[in-house]
Amino acid sequence: MNARIPDDAAADHAPVTFATDIAIIGTGFAGLGMAIRLRQAGLTDFVVAEKAHSVGGTWRDNHYPGCACDVQSHVYSFSFAPNPRWTRMFARQPEIRAYLEDCARRFGVERHLRFGHELTSAVYDDTRRRWHLRFANGQQWSARVLISAMGGLSRAALPDIPGIDTFKGRAFHSQHWDHAYPLEGKRVAVIGTGASAIQFVPQIAPRVAHLDLFQRTPPWVMPKADRAVRPVEQWLFRHLPFTQKVMRSALYCMLESRAFGFAIHPSLMKTAQKVAQRHLRRQVRDPQLRAKLTPDYTMGCKRVLISNDYFPALSRANVSVTTSAIERIEEDAVITSDGVRHPADCLIFGTGFQVADPFARGVVRGRGGVDIVDTWRDGAHAYLGTTLPGYPNFFMIVGPNTGLGHNSMVFMIESQVEYILRALKTMQSERAEAIEVHPHVERAYNEQIQQKLARAIWSTGGCKSWYLDPRTGKNTTLWPGFAYRFRQATRTFSMDDYFAYSPAPQTVNGHAAAPSRVHAHANTASAEAEAR
């Protein structure tokens, strides 16, 4: 595998240092899952590029205090790699990271990993029908197939607050937590009250002198049914593996039932709201604080959070919740619109991720050099969240409209991995060198998705959230309904949905191309014509 190819073969892209059949970018659940399943399917000519020096994706990058999964670990794990050793129902970050490292070792994908490879650009070369990849370390690869497993929540978002650069104290985003900075005795300002902040605020509140929490929108918070996994359960999972399968299925069904409220009958969310209101009443005695923490939109419109220690942390004497808008930041304070100055030694941004533009400009360019940022100028879209017209042999995992608010993302990831595997096998059996989804297929699919989303809670619940594209208001992130429907939709791969290109007259390594048996013949011109 990975034949070294002569520099001159890459012509205008010299020097290419590596040629591979399949390049995967990223080693989180998506990249590792894809790599493992490729190996299991006997496809071994692939390489996985990873910008960091270890695997884990979001579970490597996010290590803030209290970082944990908010989906039960028996479901938030690969179906082919159950872990009987989970210590808690909702595993914490170090355990999830260790699980992914163990999977990479156990399933033999370590030899395919290339660390320190941060993708800076992937450009499709239509003549050679190959992707040309450049990395920040100067390496350049050529790959027939490109699989993006870069994740939708990997680029930290910092708020656009005047004066943010003038702050003289320590400032960091939750994803770039500075564990070396001693919070003890400091005045800390936390901006944001999303899934990350509600996990780290209870951890740091007892350590700091004072914590100012700046809340723009209160989240709906439900009790977290967390507990240690009992030794007897671990024994059962180890010795009678079907017991863990039963547990996984039960949890999956319980989570799946929540889609009724989110996507089918948003009015059902009112019942769930009562549980959250009771949780708030029980945990917060102060009516003024309770009023600040009570959302004014329907539950589910934003991600529903779960926590047992968030509200008690906000009730502490050394914690204040500020709901006035932040006007500016000065060198040692946050100034709010009511004119109050909140002195701070440290600023922590729990302000989420750049979701609307999953790829920075210049990183992915398809046929004719078209940047994916321009293709998506009205919001991201793809067929089954995976393939995109104009981007042959480009597959995305956790692409547009594959996110879930109610169930495990690993289920969606595995659905996409299997779909891509089927696509690759079909290409192999039909001797297609490249495929590209028909624009009309992709368009019809997305029209349907958007119709369903228009009725769902994320559009009707009366809130603004990162689920919606800020430019168009379109929901480009979530799958509209039951996760099993996505599994059904991705269960078969149909070549009828795609243009299939027979091998290019000359391949990148100079060998003569095998004769084509592709029946759904196409050429670039016909794909371009349909795209118009």
* Candidate list 5, 22, 55, 197; residue touching ligand NAP; CB under 6 A: 197
* Candidate list 26, 194, 295, 379; residue touching ligand NAP; CB under 6 A: 194
- Measured from the CB atom, the residue of 194 and 392 that comes closer to ligand NAP is 194
State the minimum distance, in angstroms, from the CB of residue 279 to ligand NAP: 18
State the minimum distance, in angstroms, from the CB of residue 164 to ligand NAP: 9
Q: Answer whether 263's CB lies under 8 Å from 295's CB.
A: no
State the minimum distance, in angstroms, from the CB of residue 304 to ligand NAP: 10
Q: Which amino acid is at 276?
A: A
The H-or-E segment that residue 320 falls in is strand 319-322
Structure tokens at 368: 């004719």
- Measured from the CB atom, the residue of 214 and 499 that comes closer to ligand NAP is 214
Q: Using CA of residue 213, residue 219, residue 222, residue 225, what is the dihedral sign? A: negative
State the minimum distance, in angstroms, from the CB of residue 175 to ligand NAP: 8
The DSSP-derived string for 75-139 is TSS-TTS--TT--BSS-BHHHHHHHHHHHHHHTT-GGGEETT--EEEEEEETTTTEEEEEETTS-
State the minimum distance, in angstroms, from the CB of residue 472 to ligand NAP: 17
* Candidate list 72, 148, 196, 407; residue touching ligand NAP; CB under 6 A: 196
- Measured from the CB atom, the residue of 72 and 507 that comes closer to ligand NAP is 72
Q: CA–CA separation, 283 vs 278, rounded Å? A: 9
State the minimum distance, in angstroms, from the CB of residue 33 to ligand NAP: 17
Per CB under 6 A, contacts with ligand NAP among 338-397 are: 350-353
Structure tokens at 3: 């034949």
β-pairing, 319-322 with 341-343?
A: unpaired
The site map against ligand NAP for 298-317 (x = CB under 6 A) is -----x--------------
* Candidate list 21, 70, 233, 528; residue touching ligand NAP; CB under 6 A: 70
List phi, psi (to 5°) of 505: -55, -35
- In SS3 terms, 363-388 reads as CEECHHHCEHHHHCCCCCCCECCCEC
Q: Which residue's Cβ has the minimum distance to ligand NAP? A: 194
With tokens 């795609």, the residue in question is 498
Per CB under 6 A, contacts with ligand NAP among 457-496 are: 466
Q: Does 153 bind ligand NAP (CB under 6 A)?
A: yes
The DSSP-derived string for 207-269 is TSSEEEEE-SSPPPEE-----BPPHHHHHHHHH-THHHHHHHHHHHHHHHHTHIIIII-GGGH
- Measured from the CB atom, the residue of 70 and 102 that comes closer to ligand NAP is 70
The site map against ligand NAP for 214-233 (x = CB under 6 A) is x-xx----------------
Stretch that binds ligand NAP, among 20-28, 109-117, 133-141, 193-201 (CB under 6 A): 193-201
Q: What is the Cα 183 distance to its own chain's centre?
A: 29
Write out the residues near ligand NAP by the rule CB under 6 A: 68-70, 153, 159, 161, 174, 191-197, 214, 216-217, 303, 326, 350-353, 466
